[in-house]
Amino acid sequence: MMKRSILCMLTALALCAALLAGCGGSSSSSQAGSAANSAPASSEQTAETRAGAENAAADLDAVAEKLLEANPISNQFEIAAMNIEYDFMLAADDVVSYKGVRSNDNGDAGLVLVIQPAAGRSEAICETLETYKQDQVAFYGNYPEFGQAQANVQNAVIKGSDSLVVMVIASNECDADLGPAVDAVFAQ
Q: Give 44-99 pLDDT, tens digit per residue.
A: 343 344 334 444 455 899 999 999 999 999 899 999 999 999 999 999 999 999 99
- The predicted-structure confidence for 87-107, as pLDDT tens digits, reads as follows 999 999 999 999 999 999 989
* pLDDT of the residue at 47: 37
Distance CA 91, CA 4 (A): 43
Q: What is the pTM of this model?
A: 0.69
- E-strand ranges in 66-110 read 76-78, 95-103
What are the backbone angles phi and psi of residue 154, rounded to the nearest 5°?
-60, -30
Could you tell me where the beta strands, DSSP code E, fall in the chain? 76-78, 95-103, 111-117, 157-160, 165-169
**Residue ranges of E strands in 28-138:** 76-78, 95-103, 111-117
> Do residues 160 and 125 make contact, with C-beta atoms less than 8 angstroms apart?
yes
